[in-house]
């Protein structure tokens, strides 16, 4: 499968900008050195720059945040808020005060469900999600709808796996209270027309939440242009640390939210007994407890790392790998790809192989140093509608190259022969 | 194709390709039919127990369903291992199997009957334990209903 | 203030076991090298062993948890569950399945309030806390009591700052549904008689939650002996990383809990529409989303670090420093200590100085390289009852020594003269 | 005792020790009385505005309350800086002060009146900004009530 000359030129340029050498696990660890890591939709490896930032945060700058009156505490607080500013620029928000540090995309979405929707939903209201949502953007809505007697409405998919907006009749109707959509599906790899949905929703005054967990690392993204009200993602899927994520909430929406967690640092005045307490202004109201400063700094370092390569370029690189994977996998007898040629490529390929269970595919691949995922990918509603129990999935990141794709295709073909 | 570091030992592959006691349609005439499902993996099986008249012995176990090779092979091995044993023995073996897989560093089953020893390789893959144990758990649930 | 010979011998032994050299920030950073860091009740610095563990987790072992079928993922999952086992041993729980990884003590307590108490509290029921609770163990109860029409009852303090259990008449009464108490107060430094409260409560079938945020790093602790139902703490106050904490819940209680967050990894079968979904068994049900493996490993490394010194010995060391601080501070004209000689020492000294605002005390101390805290310490209910707006607080950790205490006393005396 | 790196410059200490326009009891006869409190620090002050008859000028500002040295000194400086100025000027100055403290790297106030320049040192301590701004915020709230 020779690459075109154009592709090869791009690839050469790319690999002088970034390579496995920048990622300690892939470069020099016993378990990772020879690994073709293609489970990036689950979590990505960390460049040295991010690991070093975390290290430095603990070794040179560590201190309580927003609480101390000594120079170290001032410096740490400054760095923490600087990280918020970096991430503000990264997503194009109008103000840093619209960014809330959470533990993860999952917490971000639960915060909106419990802190915003709970007080607003009434029996008969509708919350809209799509058929392709990750459980993190499905279960919180299912739970709050159950509690409030609201309806959980599903945007179904067209035959080629895209949002069937035409069939979602009441999406912008009078009972629609919130639309919660992923920007890129973690199974299909589809990119959804978020901007269009936001524009239509805004015209009817319906807020939109965007699950950007799979997109933020490689799609140029600007929340103001996108027009969304909420946007959620995790650091660990964008080359950053675990245990930290973000919720963007437009100022107006942020004003309407109640905290998910209450505790230290977020209260202004504590009422006696059960007299109401008052919360502080700004995003700190949603960050109860001691701040995760090293996490925030690592998060911002990951954003810087992405910006240094450019999301446009990263996206191109991932699309090339995805295209290559589709071509090579497509040649294996019995393979079924879950995405259609009519849908633009992103960074994910899901597939099944006739007669071989996806778990066996992943296991055989694993034994051959190719790390892919098998299962329902936390998207049971989607898999059920496709009448599948599980699929195999390969997903790409900046450090992957064509040799990873080739190893994948070989491993799948080997599995076919093993079980054939 | 036997590979020392592979899960896919010959015995396992043999049971997967030609499972013992597997029905294609419904399980007919069994004393107890019990489902075992793991929605997280999509493994979904049904086992049928045929007991002796006094209900002290498991004459045969049949199964049907779908799952990965480990699930199917382990279920096949299970049916082979327990058919013809006293219920008491089956309970003991079932407990031992679970013990064996939950303490992967622990002791081995003294004398694992039939082909069960071939599952040893799976113990190194905690993520697949559930695939092995699914049928044993269904078996225990079935025995609890006697 | 010469130390007794006995104290000096102990101190020498101690400093051969642990010193600032083991803590990169205190040993070699520009901002920390010459710092007398006495803000340990807010957060503690990290030994090299913990920082290295986090580093290694990212550089050699990083992978998704509970999801992958390749050797790296198996190894990472194993390490994550091994960390849970280490922490189980650290707190003496009967089973690792009783330990839930959370983001912090704050989340742990909120999880119990929203995931356990919400379904159980009825109008007229009582939740008991003490006057000395941190907001993290006060606001979650205040909020749930407001929501449910339950009563938030306060165990008031005796004149010398101890729990006045005799006055808390209905503490074990028929409407008492939960008792939530800190083991050590973050302001007074008091150790509360938790074991006694648990025994009495258990006799009446009333669950007890222990906030161990301030105690777990230096009090020998065994949840079974203690007899508590829930126990919460954060890693970052015990020399571990930020962004991770723990909730211990006795098996019986854990069975009764609903998750605070819903999302990936914790669901068994997702219902269609708003049909109920089913959760998986065990602590994973409460750990929605991608696991924080490096955090868990750093957490366990911190527990190992503490165990290597021995909590008994650490406690002794901290008591000695506290005693020394009380003696030296006590000689400064106008000082008022917030703890009484009748109360056993732990690791915290709070104080005020007549005519100087605590913020000025902390600022002056900060300018003299002594890091202490000033404010309400997230304990407004306590400070209000003492008719104080703020106090200054010094708190000790393993790396502190007598010179830190002496620098503290000098700084406070300097402030007295500056403002005198 | 002046220390180059200290917050506690002579001017600040002077205002703290001998605050201008500070009352001991109630603030009497003011046109507007406004409280400013920061429960997080325990700073709690009240300012009283005395306006001219046409309500275009702030004749005097008095205050009472408790707080740290920065809060008390900054409030004293504020009363001194705004007394005798037109309401329009006071609004402008108040906005400039907030600007000055929120962008600590930003531009300086062109010509800070009276002793305000002495607060420059506080700008390096974000945690104390609130102590400086409390009285200015109370002032703005008071002006909004005219
Ligand atoms: C007694 C006590 N409980 C709970 C907490 C909350 O801990 P965290 O902020 O790590 O959630 C703290 C510390 O802030 C504390 O001192
Ligand atoms: C589309 C999507 N949304 C949300 C999540 C949840 O992210 P996290 O597990 O980091 O909270 C994931 C990943 O697991 C995802 O792929």
Confidence at A2, pLDDT banded by 50, 70, 90: very low
Cα-to-centroid distance, A240 and ligand 2 (Å): 14
**DSSP conformation class of C163:** B
Dist. CA D19 → ligand 2 center (Å): 57
Beta-strand ranges (E) seen in A21-163 are: 36-37, 99-102, 126-130, 151-155
Cβ neighbour number for residue A160 with a 10 Å cutoff = 12
Size of interface A-B (CB pairs under 8 A): 40
Q: Which residue in D has a C-alpha nearest to residue C418's C-alpha? A: D1
Instruction: Report DSSP letters for B53-87, one per residue.
Output: TTSSEEEEEEEEEE--HHHHHHHHHHHHHHTTEEH
Task: Report the C-alpha dihedral over residues C86, C87, C88, C92, rounded to 10 degrees.
Answer: 110
Q: Which residues contact A313 (CB under 8 A, 6 or more apart)?
A: A14, A17
Q: Of B29-38, B81-90, C53-62, D93-102, which has the strongest mean pLDDT? A: C53-62
Tokens standing for residue B67: 């799952």
* Alpha-carbon distances, residue A185 vs A151, A188, A338, A345 (angstroms): 23, 5, 12, 11
- Tell me the pLDDT tens digit for each residue of C120-162: 999 999 999 999 999 999 999 999 999 999 999 999 999 989 9
- Does the Cβ of A391 fall within 6 Å of ligand 2? no
Q: What confidence score (pLDDT) does residue B1 get?
A: 42
Q: DSSP states of A272-299 as a string?
A: STTSPPEEPSSGGGG--SS--HHHHHHH
CB contact under 8 A, C73 and B127: yes
D102 in A contact zone (CB under 8 Å): no
The mean pLDDT of B56-69, rounded to a whole number, is 94
Residue C78 phi, psi dihedral angles, 5° rounding: -55, -45
Q: By alpha-carbon position, which residue is closest to atom 15 of ligand 2?
A: A213
pLDDT at residue A128 is higher than 80: yes
Q: Is the Cβ–Cβ distance between A240 and A299 less than 8 Å?
A: yes
Give the integer Cα–Cα distance in Å for C148 and C116: 13
Q: Which residues of C are catalytic?
A: 378
Q: Looking at the complex, does the CB of residue B66 fall below 8 Å from at least one CB of chain C?
A: no
The CA R_g of chain B, rounded to the nearest whole Å, is: 14
- Edge-to-edge strand order for the sheet containing A245-249? A99-102, A245-249, A230-234, A208-211, A176-182, A126-130, A151-155
Dist. CA C105 → ligand 1 center (Å): 6
The answer to whether C349 and C339 have CB atoms below 8 angstroms apart is yes
The token pair at C159 is 């004149």
A378 to B80, C69, C73, C282, C289: CA distances (angstroms): 35, 16, 17, 18, 10
Long-range contacts, stretch A160-168, CB < 8 angstroms, 24+ apart: A160/A340, A160/A342, A160/A343, A161/A132, A161/A188, A161/A190, A161/A338, A161/A339, A161/A340, A161/A343, A162/A190, A162/A192, A162/A342, A162/A343, A163/A130, A163/A132, A163/A192, A163/A193, A165/A193, A165/A197, A168/A128
- Show the tokens assigned to A54: 């975390």
Check CB contact under 8 Å for C290 and A370: no
CA distance A198 to A205: 10
Q: Does C7 touch chain D (CB under 8 A)?
A: no
pLDDT at A107 over 80: yes
Task: Give the integer Cα–Cα distance in Å for D128 and D142.
Answer: 22
Q: Please report the domains of chain C, with CATH numbers, ordered by start residue.
A: 5-46+311-418 (3.90.1150.10), 52-308 (3.40.640.10)
How many angstroms separate the CA atoms of A337 and D64, rounded? 75
List alpha helices for A180-222, DSSP H. Answer: 194-203
Catalytic residue from among A145, A182, A228, A378: A378
Cβ of D126 and A78 within 8 Å?
A: yes
Q: CB-based contact (8 Å) between B125 and chain A?
A: yes
Lowest mean pLDDT among A29-38, B38-47, C396-405: B38-47
Nearest to C69 among B39, B40, B127 (CB): B127
Locus of tokens 């819940």: C249
CA of C169 to the centre of ligand 1 (A): 28
Nearest chain C residue (CA) to A383: C270
Mean per-residue pLDDT over chain C, rounded: 95
Q: Which of residues 278-297 of A touch D (CB under 8 A)?
A: 280
**Statement: residue C258 has pLDDT above 60:** yes
The minimum CA-CA distance between B18 and chain A, rounded to whole Å, is 12
More confident residue, D112 or D34: D34
Q: Which helix (H) or strand (E) holds D34?
A: strand D32-38
Shortest CB distance from B125 goes to which of C67, C74, C268? C74
pLDDT digits (tens, 9 = 90+) for A221-255: 999 999 999 999 999 999 999 999 999 999 999 99
What residues of A are in contact with residue C234 (Cβ under 8 Å)?
Answer: 289-290
Across residues A264-288, what is the average pLDDT? 91
| Residue B4 confidence (pLDDT) above 80 | no
CA distances from D11 to A81, D2, D32, D68 (A): 31, 10, 28, 15
Judging by beta carbons within 10 Å of its beta carbon (0-12, 13-18, 19+), is residue C384 exposed, middle or buried?
middle
Q: Do B125 and C69 touch (CB under 8 A)?
A: yes
Q: What is the mean pLDDT of residues C351-357?
A: 96
- Strand ranges for C298-367 from DSSP E: 335-337, 348-353
pLDDT value at residue D103:
66
* Structural contact between residues A389 and A9, judged by C-beta atoms closer than 8 angstroms: no
Whether pLDDT at A351 is above 90: yes
pLDDT in tens, C206-225: 999 999 999 999 999 999 99
To the nearest whole percent, how much of chain C has pLDDT over 70?
98
CATH 3.90.1010.10 fits B2-143, yes or no: yes
Chain B residue numbers with beta carbons less than 8 Å from the beta carbon of A363 are 7-8, 125, 128
**What per-residue confidence (pLDDT) applies to D111?**
60
Q: In chain D, how long is the greatest CA-to-CA distance?
A: 46
Q: How far, in Å, are A274, C217, C297, C308 from residue C303 at the CA level?
A: 37, 8, 10, 9
Question: Does the beta-carbon distance from A357 to B69 stay under 8 Å?
Answer: yes
**Is beta strand C126-130 parallel, antiparallel or unpaired with respect to C176-182?**
parallel
- Give the torsion through C-alpha atoms of A382, A385, A389, A393, to 10 deg: -40
Closest ligand to C-alpha of residue A110 is 2
Q: What is the pLDDT of residue C391?
A: 96
Q: Which chains touch C (3 or more CB pairs under 8 A)?
A: A, B, D
Which residues in B lie closer than 8 A to residue A359 (C-beta atoms)? 41, 68, 70, 128, 131
* CA C375 remoteness from chain centre: 18
Instruction: Judge contact between D36 and D126, C-beta under 8 A.
Output: no
How confident is the model at residue A6, as a pLDDT?
72
pLDDT for the residue numbered B3: 57
Ligand 1 contacts CB of residue C137 (under 6 A):
yes
Dig out the tokens for C371 from the structure.
């890091």
As given in the structure block, the two tokens for residue C115 are 């995931």
Q: What are phi and psi of C194, to 5 degrees?
A: -60, -45
CB of A346 shorter than 6 A to ligand 2? no
* B103 has a pLDDT exceeding 70: no
State the nearest Cα–Cα gap between B122 and chain C, in angstroms.
Answer: 11
Alpha helices, DSSP H, located in A61-160: 71-91, 105-111, 139-148
Chain B residues within 8 A of C276 when measuring between CB atoms: none
CA A299 to chain centroid: 13
**A132: CB partners within 8 A, 6+ apart:** A157, A161, A163, A182, A185, A187, A188, A190, A379, A382
Residue nearest to atom 15 of ligand 1 (CA): C213
Nearest to C180 by CA among C161, C166, C201: C201
- Using CA atoms of C8, C11, C13, C15 in order, give the dihedral in degrees to the nearest 10: -140
More confident residue, B142 or A272: B142
| Low-confidence winner among A42-56, B41-55, C168-182 (lowest mean pLDDT) | B41-55
Mean pLDDT lowest among A23-32, B100-109, D47-56: B100-109
Specify which residues A206 forms β-bridges with.
none
Helix residue ranges, H only, C92-220: 105-112, 139-148, 194-203
Neighbour-count burial for C267-296, b at 16+ CB within 10 Å, e otherwise: bebbbeebeebebbeebbbbbbbbbbbbbb
Contact assessment for residue D66 and residue D37, using Cβ atoms and an 8 Å cutoff = no
pLDDT of residue C19: 87
C377: left (phi over 0), alpha (psi -120 to 50) or beta: left
Which ligand is closest in space to the CA of residue C183? Answer: 1
Nearest CA to ligand 2 atom 13: A42
pLDDT at B5: 67
**Residues C288-325 pLDDT 10s:** 999 999 999 999 999 999 999 999 999 999 999 999 99
> C105, C128 in Cβ contact below 8 A?
no
Mean pLDDT (whole number) for B24-38: 92
Long-range pairs of A251-254 with CB within 8 A, sequence gap ≥ 24:
A251/A94, A251/A95, A251/A97, A251/A98, A253/A116, A253/A207, A253/A229, A254/A97, A254/A98, A254/A100, A254/A283
Neighbors of chain D with 3 or more C-beta pairs under 8 Å: A, C
Q: Which residue of B8, B36, B40 to mutate against C (max C Cβ within 10 Å)?
A: B40
Put simply, the answer to whether B40 touches C68 (Cβ < 8 Å) is: no
Band of pLDDT at residue A19, cut at 50, 70 and 90: confident
Distances (CA, A) of C71 to A46, A371, B76, C401: 19, 9, 26, 46
DSSP character for A219?
Answer: S
Per-residue pLDDT, averaged over A29-36, amounts to 95
Higher per-residue pLDDT: C101 or A8: C101
**pLDDT tier, D42 (very low <50, low <70, confident <90, very high otherwise):** confident
Per DSSP, the residues of C258-275 read PPSS--TTSEEEPPSTTS
Residue percentage of chain A with pLDDT more than 70: 98
- Band (pLDDT 50/70/90 cuts) for residue D98 is confident
Q: Is the pLDDT of residue C2 over 70?
A: no
Model pLDDT, residue C66: 84
Mode of pairing for the β-strands spanning A176-182 and A208-211: parallel
Average pLDDT over residues B105-120: 69
pLDDT for position D104: 52
């Amino acid at each position: 499968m020779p690459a075109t000359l154009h592709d090869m030129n791009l690839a050469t340029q790319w690999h002088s900008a970034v390579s496995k050498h920048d990622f300690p696990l892939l470069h020099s660890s016993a378990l990772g050195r020879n690994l073709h890591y293609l489970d990036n939709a689950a979590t990505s490896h960390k460049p040295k720059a991010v690991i070093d930032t975390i290290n430095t945060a603990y070794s040179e700058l560590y201190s309580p945040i927003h609480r101390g009156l000594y120079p170290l505490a001032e410096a740490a607080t400054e760095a923490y808020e600087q990280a918020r500013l970096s991430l503000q620029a990264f997503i194009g928000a109008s103000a840093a005060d619209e960014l809330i540090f959470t533990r993860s995309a999952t917490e971000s979405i639960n915060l909106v469900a419990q802190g915003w929707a709970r007080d607003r939903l009434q029996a008969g209201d509708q919350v809209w999600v799509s058929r392709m949502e990750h459980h993190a953007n499905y279960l919180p809505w299912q739970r709050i709808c159950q509690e409030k007697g609201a309806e959980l409405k599903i945007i179904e998919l067209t035959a080629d796996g895209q949002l069937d907006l035409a069939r979602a009749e009441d999406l912008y109707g009078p009972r629609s209270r919130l639309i919660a959509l992923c920007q890129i599906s973690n199974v299909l790899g589809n990119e959804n027309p978020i901007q269009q949905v936001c524009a239509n929703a805004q015209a009817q005054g319906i807020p939109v939440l965007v699950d950007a967990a799979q997109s933020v690392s490689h799609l140029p993204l600007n929340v103001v242009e996108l027009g969304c009200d909420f946007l959620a993602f995790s650091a660990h899927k964008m080359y950053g640390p675990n245990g930290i994520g973000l919720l963007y909430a437009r100022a107006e929406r942020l004003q309407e939210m109640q905290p998910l967690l209450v505790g230290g640092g977020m209260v202004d005045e504590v009422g006696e007994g059960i007299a109401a307490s008052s919360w502080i202004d700004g995003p700190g109201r949603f960050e109860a407890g001691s701040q995760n400063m090293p996490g925030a700094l690592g998060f911002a370092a990951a954003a810087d790392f992405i910006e240094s390569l450019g999301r446009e370029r990263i996206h191109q690189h991932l699309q090339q790998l995805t295209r290559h994977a589709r071509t090579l996998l497509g040649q294996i007898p019995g393979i079924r790809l879950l995405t259609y040629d009519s849908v633009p490529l992103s960074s994910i390929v899901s597939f099944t192989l006739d007669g071989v269970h996806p778990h066996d595919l992943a296991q055989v691949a694993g034994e051959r140093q190719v790390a892919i995922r098998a299962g329902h990918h936390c998207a049971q509603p989607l898999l059920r509608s496709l009448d599948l129990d599980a699929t195999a999935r390969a997903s790409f990141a900046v450090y992957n190259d064509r040799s990873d794709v080739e190893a994948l295709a070989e491993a799948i073909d080997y599995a076919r022969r093993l079980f054939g | 194709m036997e590979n020392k570091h592979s899960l896919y030992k010959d015995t396992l592959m043999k049971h997967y390709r030609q499972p013992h006691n597997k029905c294609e349609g419904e399980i007919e005439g069994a004393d107890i039919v019990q489902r075992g499902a793991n929605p997280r993996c999509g493994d979904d099986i049904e086992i049928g127990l045929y007991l002796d008249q006094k209900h002290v012995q498991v004459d045969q176990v049949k199964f049907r369903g779908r799952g990965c090779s480990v699930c199917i092979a382990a279920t096949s091995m299970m049916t082979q291992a327990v058919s013809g044993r006293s219920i008491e023995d089956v309970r003991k073996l079932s407990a031992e199997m679970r013990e064996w897989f939950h303490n992967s560093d622990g002791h081995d089953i003294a004398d694992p009957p039939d082909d069960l020893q071939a599952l040893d390789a799976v113990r190194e893959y905690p993520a697949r334990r559930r695939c092995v144990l699914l049928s044993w758990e269904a078996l225990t649930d079935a025995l609890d209903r006697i």
